[in-house]
Amino acid sequence: MFKKLLLVTVVLALAIPLAIPVTAQDDKPKIGFLPGVVDPFYQVMELGINQAVKDFGLEVVTQFPESWNVTVQTPILETYIARGDLDYIIIAPVDKEQMIAPLEKALEAGIKIITVDTFLGDGDYENGLVTFPISYIGSDNVEGGRIAARALVEALGGKGKVFVENTNPGVSSVEGRAVGFQEVIAQYPEMEFVGMEYCLDDATIAAEQVSAVLQREPELAGIFGVNVFSAQGAGNAVKAAGLQGAVQIVSYDATKDAMENLRNDVVTMVLAQKPYDMGYLAVAFAMADWRGVTSLPKRVTTGFAILTKENMDDPEYARFIYQVP
Amino acid sequence: MEPLLSVRNLTKRFGGLVAVNQVSMDVHPGEVVGLVGDNGAGKSTLIKMISGVYQPNEGEIYFDGKLAHIANPSQARDMGIETIYQDLALAGNLDMSANIFLGRERKKRYLGGLIRVLDEKFMLQEAQKLLQSLDVHIPSATAKIDYLSGGQRQAVAIARALYWEARLMIMDEPTNNLGVIEQAKVLDLIRRLRDQGVPVIVISHTIRDIFAVSDRIVVLHRGRKVADKRTQDTSTEEIIQYIMGARDDYHRN
Amino acid sequence: MVSEAQAPSLPATSKRRTTGQQAILLGSKIWSWLFLLMLVFYFSWQGTGFFSLRNSQNILVAIVPIVLMGLGQTFVIIAGGIDLSVGWLMGLSSVISALVIREEYNAGVAPWLAIIQGLLAGVGVALAAGLINGVIVAKLRVPPFIVTLGVSFVARGIGFLLAKGNIIAGQPQLARDLGNESLLYYVRGEGGGWYFLKKPDVTGAQLRMMDRVFTWPVVITFIVVLVAIFILHKTQFGRHTYAIGGNREAALRAGVPVDRHVILLYMMSAGTAGLAGVMHAWRFSGGAADAGDALLMMSIAAVVIGGVSLFGGQGRVIGTVIGALILAVLQTGLIMINVKTFYQYVIVGIIVILAVLMDQARDLIVGRAEAAA
Ligand SMILES: Nc1ncnc2c1ncn2[C@@H]1O[C@H](COP(=O)(O)OP(=O)(O)OP(=O)(O)O)[C@@H](O)[C@H]1O
Ligand SMILES: [Mg+2]
């Protein structure tokens, strides 16, 4: 009996419609930040966000998904929507297809979207598959892939087998990197692309996969780690096999770990993205949109800093290392 | 009279161990057979082959004069062989009526039998009636078996076997866990079954009880049958000698 | 209750429980309800927008896959097993159903027909995997932990292979509507109100006043929950599920077709996971091999919080639903009050342990006295 009563109460508590009016029309927008996963890259982006929020005198709500998965990111997004007090959501969609429907609901609820680091659809918000976000602010990942490939080609003297350690399928950013990388490698007849694996954003899995590839391809000469975790895993696997120097690694993301590897010659080159810029710019864009600016570019690429053992201690470059407090 | 049950040269091995070795015995209608033997003699194993729990490695079982392949316990039950197991075989997380009707639940049918719902009320009433008729007191009819005393559980196991109008009743140490009065009741019950023409195989370590109810006594020793005697033709001392292996009627050289 | 009156042999003391025991007994039965209620009240009081129609729906949508996977799991665990394959089976089903829908749709098949074909394919594959789980567990007696873990890896691999390391997109609008549109709509503000089955014709600024109430996946899950409650608590099948978990050997000797039953249980478990996968593909307009990766442990947590004993033999369907609600309320609530959701895991961990302790406290302290209840 008591249980039934409780059930009724719970159901009521969950179901009574409460017409809470949307209190958006303050003179300053409220922002929700929803990165792809908890990692140093997004933590630096959060620093940029927080700085901008402070500079503009805004409020921000931030939640880090604990893993890279639409089933983890979407509930957080929907709760952002249900809060009813957010005007802008700055998000790194974890899937370019699957996150479209959930983000359209945010749009319906009157929330504007800015995507950072990763984009929706084909990333062309002007004439592409998806046009509703205000802007995409991130690296030119295809170009980043090309840069990584050229660096490897140079380090290897234009000859050798190369492998890509990727993270998740269906993610615009890392997909672009692989595409750019393969494109350049294909231009060199003596370079051979021997394959790609997905570590699902898990450095341990990445290390296992790279170890296996080192077994399979004894002549492997170069590896491209497309993000923090892939590069970390690749570095660990190469170290474990005692192949530092023999196998060249180029990697995305300037984490402390990556710097350590750079210093110890495990990694040849690190492409530092500019997550701080992405975060800061995204908030600035939101603010500008709020103030009626209508000519915001639909796509902004933030560029790279290319870090090597030689320049990594130069403050001019060192500031792009991902420093998480 | 034709035996209701007749087993021929049953053998059951567990790996290298021969738990039951070439045992043959008959059970006639209206007869109580006492099955005795030391711990590990093979009594439980023998009756489990009859109730379909184990498949014999060798030998045949005839029921009603016909060769019977008892592939599983539910076939045995369908043939009318009810068994009270030594370990009782009750589901501790269910109540007594659920246990009594387990595997043979009474259902209410809706939409021409498409939807069948447990008839809890009927099963509970039947269970209560049954226990009452057995003069067993269980304070809460809906308590889980786990929460009952050993004797109460034994009573539920007995009640379950009795409910389904057995043609052959097998009881593996049914007086275990029971107080003196309850033990007497069980012996009474066995006699009542016999009077109704239902033969009973009863296993017990209490020789006095076996002599009190049985018409015939079969003794197993290390898996072999060593004696098969009419109760009135033997004595406690003699049976104990068989149990200890000092006597053997079927010894082959 | 006749027999109670005639029970002089039983010591009178065992019939009465102390107040402390009574409190524990009651506590163990309703603590999860109370905890849920407490969370709801707390977050409503503290959180921005928690106590709203939209958020209630948000929570319901969020629990769909957890509840679906948890339902099958509830049956399996009650029968003394465990199914670790449901997470990746959900992903595999989402990939297969999305693939079938896309191919059929592109070949000119009507969207509704393609969707039905996708549903059958997605759930069908899951059922086949469940059959494999069940047969190996029941007939070959391999511990379910191992079997389902193995099948999980196989499903994971096949999922990624089929999707060629990608997402299966290209779904018709109808699939997307099925995943996101609802039975009811409520438009707040002037000229608003309830709309049944028909999406109100609102645009622009008014859209933000519209709430979808009971989206189709929620409705379908609700029906599945009702069916599960019926099966587990009202039918012979449910009774046998408990009996197998309580004492497998006893069930066998009572004539319960244990092997067949266990096989069916694993098929049910895989089937509900498959349904969750199919609805994932609707909702997100695409199938992803890793769709259920993050959800398996959540669903098991929901089952345990809901009072299903991992030793088998005990638990209720509604408990699992409550468990899932607790998880979702915690997550959304923490976001509403702007606390890092990582605390969710700490809290969930504590209540999982608390749930098991509650169970044992009941058995230890109340134990025999329950007999006299
Ligand atoms: N399932 C089994 N697997 C292996 N060995 C078994 C099994 N069941 C019984 N045994 C062995 O077979 C022999 C006969 O056992 P059984 O249970 O039939 O003896 P019992 O005469 O009923 O003894 P008790 O009086 O102690 O109940 C014993 O040695 C026992 O250990
Ligand atoms: Mg025995």
Q: How confident is the model at residue C343 (pLDDT cuts 50, 70, 90)?
A: confident
Nearest CA to ligand 1 atom 7: B14
**Contact assessment for residue B84 and residue C250, using Cβ atoms and an 8 Å cutoff:** no
Q: How confident is the model at residue C367 (pLDDT cuts 50, 70, 90)?
A: low
Chain A residues with CB inside 8 Å of C166's CB? 169-170
Query: Is the minimum CB–CB distance between C341 and chain A shorter than 8 Å?
Result: yes
The predicted model gives A21-29 an average pLDDT of: 60
What is the fold, at CATH topology level, of the domain defined by C19-372?
ABC transporter involved in vitamin B12 uptake, BtuC (1.10.3470)
Q: Which of the residue ranges A170-184, C37-51, C106-120 has the most confident prediction, judged by mean pLDDT?
A: C106-120
- Tell me the ipTM for this assembly: 0.91
Structure tokens belonging to residue C124: 């069908």
Instruction: Kindly report the nearest CA distance between residue C370 and chain B, in angstroms.
Output: 7
**Contact assessment for residue A189 and residue A157, using Cβ atoms and an 8 Å cutoff:** no
- Residue C370, pLDDT > 50, answer no
Q: Which CATH superfamily is domain A141-272 in?
A: Response regulator (3.40.50.2300)
* C204-253 per-position pLDDT tens digit: 777 778 888 999 999 999 999 999 999 999 999 999 999 999 999 999 99
pTM score, whole prediction: 0.84
**Contact assessment for residue B21 and residue B224, using Cβ atoms and an 8 Å cutoff:** yes
- Residue C369, pLDDT > 50, answer no
Does the Cβ of B37 fall within 6 Å of ligand 1? Answer: yes
Average pLDDT, chain C: 88
Task: Kindly list the distances between the CA atom of residue C55 and the CA atoms of A13, C44, C48, C60, in Å, as whole numbers in the listed order.
Answer: 11, 11, 10, 9
Does the Cβ of B150 fall within 6 Å of ligand 1? Answer: no
Cβ contacts of residue A55 below 8 Å, gap of 6+? none
| Domain boundary assignment for chain A | 28-139+275-303, 141-272
Report d(CA B66, CA B201) in Å as an integer.
19
Q: Which of the residue ranges A206-210, C31-35, C126-130 has the most confident prediction, judged by mean pLDDT?
A: C126-130
- Listed by number, the residues of chain C in 244-263 with a beta carbon closer than 8 Å to a beta carbon of chain B are 245-247, 249-257
Does the Cβ of B39 fall within 6 Å of ligand 1? Answer: yes
Can you give the pLDDT of all 253 residues of chain B as single tens digits? Answer: 789 999 999 999 999 999 999 999 999 999 999 999 999 999 999 999 999 999 999 999 999 999 999 999 999 999 999 999 999 899 999 999 999 999 999 999 998 888 999 999 999 999 999 888 888 788 888 888 988 888 888 889 989 998 988 899 999 999 888 888 888 988 998 999 999 999 999 999 999 999 999 999 999 999 999 999 999 999 999 999 999 998 888 876 5
From B11, B36, B45, mutation site for ligand 1 pocket: most ligand atoms within 8 A of C-beta:
B45
The predicted model gives A102-121 an average pLDDT of: 93
List the Cα angle B126/B130/B132 in 5-degree steps: 120
What 3 state SS string does chain A have? CHHHHHHHHHHHHHHCCCCCCCCCCCCCCEEEEECCCCCHHHHHHHHHHHHHHHHHCCEEEECCCCCCCHHHHHHHHHHHHHHCCCCEEEECCCCCCCCHHHHHHHHHCCCEEEEECCCCCCCCCCCCCCCCCCEEEECCHHHHHHHHHHHHHHHCCCCEEEEEEECCCCCHHHHHHHHHHHHHHHCCCCEEEEEEEECCCCHHHHHHHHHHHHHHCCCEEEEEECCHHHHHHHHHHHHHCCCECCEEEEEECCCHHHHHHHHCCCCCEEEECCHHHHHHHHHHHHHHHHCCCCCCCCEEECCCEEECCCCCCCHHHHCCCCCCC
Find, among A307, B92, A116, the residue nearest to C367 by Cα.
B92
Within 10 angstroms of residue B179's Cβ, the number of other Cβ atoms is 11
Neighbours of chain A (3+ CB pairs under 8 A): C
* A188-222 per-position pLDDT tens digit: 999 999 999 988 888 888 998 999 899 888 899 99
Pick the atom of ligand 1 nearest to B12's CA.
12
Q: Do A28-139+275-303 and A141-272 show the same overall fold? A: yes
Nearest CA to ligand 1 atom 10: B19
Does the Cβ of B10 fall within 6 Å of ligand 1? Answer: no
Find, among A102, A69, A2, the residue nearest to C29 by Cα.
A2
Within 10 angstroms of residue A204's Cβ, the number of other Cβ atoms is 12
Helices (H) then strands (E): counts for chain C: 14, 3
Does the Cβ of B86 fall within 6 Å of ligand 1? Answer: yes
Query: Is the minimum CB–CB distance between C160 and chain A shorter than 8 Å?
Result: yes
Strands A305-307 and A269-272: antiparallel
Nearest CA to ligand 1 atom 17: B44
Q: Give me the pLDDT at residue C242, please.
A: 97
Report DSSP letters for C161-219, one per residue. Answer: HHTTTS-B----HHHHHHHH-EEEEEE-STT-EEEESS-----GGGGGGEEEEEEHHHH
Instruction: Kindly report the nearest CA distance between residue C73 and chain A, in angstroms.
Output: 19
**Interface contact flag, C61 A78, Cβ < 8 Å:** yes
Q: Give me the pLDDT at residue C12, please.
A: 33
Chain C residues with CB inside 8 Å of A38's CB? 342
**Contact assessment for residue C93 and residue C277, using Cβ atoms and an 8 Å cutoff:** yes
Structure tokens belonging to residue B64: 């009603």
Q: How confident is the model at residue A10 (pLDDT cuts 50, 70, 90)?
A: low
- Residue A115, pLDDT > 80, answer yes
- Listed by number, the residues of chain A in 90-109 with a beta carbon closer than 8 Å to a beta carbon of chain C are 95-102, 105, 108-109
Q: Give me the pLDDT at residue C5, please.
A: 35
Structure tokens belonging to residue C330: 């915690």
Pick the atom of ligand 1 nearest to B45's CA.
18
Q: Do chains A and B touch (3 or more CB pairs under 8 A)?
A: no
What is the fold, at CATH topology level, of the domain defined by A28-139+275-303?
Rossmann fold (3.40.50)
How far does the centroid of ligand 1 lie from the alpha carbon of residue B12, in Å?
Answer: 10
Average pLDDT, chain A: 88
Strands A135-138 and A299-301: parallel
Q: Give me the pLDDT at residue A9, please.
A: 57
Q: State the count of interchain CB pairs (< 8 A) between B and C.
A: 121
- Residue C15, pLDDT > 50, answer no
- Pick A85's closest partner by Cβ from C26, C48, C53: C48
